[in-house]
Structure 1
Amino acid sequence: MGSLLRGVSGLRWEELRDARGAAAGGIPPLLSRIAYGGEDTARIAIDDLGDAICALGFDVGEATAPTVPFLLELVGSSHVACKAELLDLLGGICRTDQWHSAAVATQARTHDASYRQQLGWEEASRAAVYAGRSVIEGVASSIRPEEATPARKLLQLMDDIPPFPEL
């Protein structure tokens, strides 16, 4: 994958499921297009990646948390286009709480294994975004407002989101 995204090949993407339930093998080529493609190519790849790791803008999958460090790597790179879109995608991942909200709404204390998996994917995905706070802070201090403004917005979101409820 080049100097960026070296660790991508170390994951068994075909064994992971994306937010739509499909094998996640299509994620590495999308990351590569974001890293090495032009702005138009990157923008399309980010849209496609968003569908795969944060479907409909609110549903994460098993492959979401492992993808987040690569998104953060791209955001932190000096030559990657469309950082605002990447930061927006990270914000969507961070906001995702549909399964936790449903669990609270149903007041059910027992859930099947699939439901518990979804809860775990939400928690892991959000934690992965929070783990990249230093990268986001670096972008927030950029002299380029088209990068700094969405980074500051994401940092504010991270500060404002309440923790997941105890289930």
Structure 2
Amino acid sequence: MAQPQSARRSDEEQGVGSPLRSISGVGWGELRDATGAAADGIPALLSRIAYGDETRARIAIDDLGDAICALGFVVGEATVPTVPFLLELVGSPHTVCKAELLDLLGSICRTDQWHAAAATTQDRRYDASYQRQLGWEAASRAAVHAGRSAIEDVASSVRPEEATPARKLLQVMDDTPPFPEL
């Protein structure tokens, strides 16, 4: 017997089913990561996190962190479209290494290198590249904030290895104000 549409929608909203279904809808080959390299390797890293064992997932998270939040504080063009997939994985009951994913999201949320540099600059005229980097930081932080409900769900987990880093991320989110207009 087929499930009613409302039940199917509910399952999808809760993350039940195959994670990363919409990953092919992103033009990864057209994006650059935080190091300036092509972002076409990001889907494979996300898949290893979603479907790999704990060891493979940890390695993939490290590699993904280098690609979307280089050095722990530099985001790139591909960071913004990656964040919803990280949030999806954090909310999935089958994902291993949620603490590491939550830490990565925290690093993305705290990123403010370009905004800090812009705030100290006397000359308020920036080239187009600099403006894009400011935009990536703002959009990346906003993308993390958009996933607050998913993070709150994990923070209410009975598993302290998941709940504690989720609560820490919520605190980071509360402590990171919106970027000022430059």
TM-score (norm 1): 0.98
What is residue 96 of structure 2 aligned with on the other side?
81
What is residue 158 of structure 1 aligned with on the other side?
173
Q: 1:109: how far off? A: 1.1
* Candidates 130, 133, 137, aligned match of 2:152: 137
Report the AA paired with residue 117 of structure 2.
A
Structure with max Cα Rg: 2
What is residue 113 of structure 1 aligned with on the other side?
128
Aligned-partner Cα distance in 1 for 2:55–2:127: 42
Aligned-partner Cα distance in 2 for 1:17–1:142: 35
* Candidates 6, 22, 39, aligned match of 1:7: 22
For residue 177 of structure 2, give the secondary structure of its aligned residue in structure 1.
Answer: coil
What is residue 58 of structure 2 aligned with on the other side?
43
TM-score (norm 2): 0.90
Which consecutive residues of structure 2, in runs of 5 or more, have no partner in the other structure? 1-16
For residue 24 of structure 1, give the secondary structure of its aligned residue in structure 2.
Answer: coil
Aligned-partner Cα distance in 2 for 1:67–1:46: 12
Aligned-partner Cα distance in 2 for 1:131–1:38: 28
What is residue 148 of structure 1 aligned with on the other side?
163
For residue 25 of structure 1, give the secondary structure of its aligned residue in structure 2.
Answer: coil
For residue 57 of structure 1, give the secondary structure of its aligned residue in structure 2.
Answer: coil
Report the AA paired with residue 151 of structure 1.
A
Which consecutive residues of structure 1, in runs of 5 or more, have no partner in the other structure? none
What do residues 58-100 of structure 1 show as CA deviations (whole Å, max 9, x unaligned)? 0000000000000000000001000000000000000000000
Structure 1 consecutive aligned stretches of length 4 or more whose deviation exceeds 4 Å = none
What do residues 37-61 of structure 1 show as CA deviations (whole Å, max 9, x unaligned)? 0000000000000000000000000
Aligned-partner Cα distance in 1 for 2:70–2:40: 16
Within-5 A mapping of 1:29-68: 29-68=44-83
Q: 1:133: how far off? A: 0.2
Q: 1:165: how far off? A: 2.1
User: Number of matched residues?
Assistant: 166
* Aligned-residue CA RMSD (Å): 0.8
